[in-house]
Structure 1
Amino acid sequence: MREILKSIVWGRGGQRLQVAKDCREVHGILQIARYDLLLPDYNLGHESGVELARSPSHLNARTPIVMISGRGDEVTIRAAHDAGIGEFVVKPLSVVTLANRISAVLFRPSEFIVSLSYCGPDRRRGGSAQHDGLERRRGERSL
């Protein structure tokens, strides 16, 4: 799978590419350099890609993640989303789907949120992040 991903990224104009075999290697890489994107599999040896997204090394780097997995169940996707993973692609994947997900996290990035209970990209999809309290819906029409 790594070779396929490398060829897709190279084919789409990627210039520098670092491949890691597990989460330990990723943690080490993120301490040395900054990257534009992470493309981890859900299964990364001793840790999952979700645990990687929640790790201090990733949060410090604030690198967008497109997770790739053979697991497409709602629980897995929700856990990835709640961990701050920007996009999720289920195997088997197509070049077009992967390219669209990469474009989404790189060219339409979410704001980074730091709070007591969460640190990571804004998990809300679409719409405005502006809320005006309890009266925010006043004046809106129902459909």
Structure 2
Amino acid sequence: MANTSDNPGRTQGRRGKWERGKVPTDRVAWTEFFSGKLAVNRYAEEVEDSAESKGDSVSLLLQSLFERRTVRFILTNLTAAELNAFERVVTFAISEARPTVELRDRLAKEAFEHGDGSYERNYRSVPTVVVREGQGS
């Protein structure tokens, strides 16, 4: 279910052609953050007629800037039960991380307000989420 690539900083089109600086046409949503990028790709299946190829394929790509790797999860290869379990685990992980993230943000902000500018959290860009028009559900 997961494929990896050692080509960070480049995008791979549907046909495997690498195009630096261009967003692939199948990329429907993405965000960038301090340690990487997260993207959603959707494309029409182009394989023989079978139950496994009905509907669009949707994949989630996580690109780590520190490990310089991309992991791709093809969500539409999962069963409904597996997709529900995947969603529960990701939601759980976020809820577990949120208190620590908020604490660290608060402490860095307080330190900055008292003249300590050494926390990198204070200088990160505010992330944006891009969803191509007509692509959202």
Structure 1 length as normaliser, TM-score? 0.22
Structure with higher RCO (Cα < 8 A, 6+ apart): 2
Of Structure 1 and Structure 2, the greater strand share is in: 2
TM-score (norm 2): 0.23
Query: Whose helix fraction is larger, Structure 1's or Structure 2's?
Result: 1
Q: Which has the larger radius of gyration?
A: 2
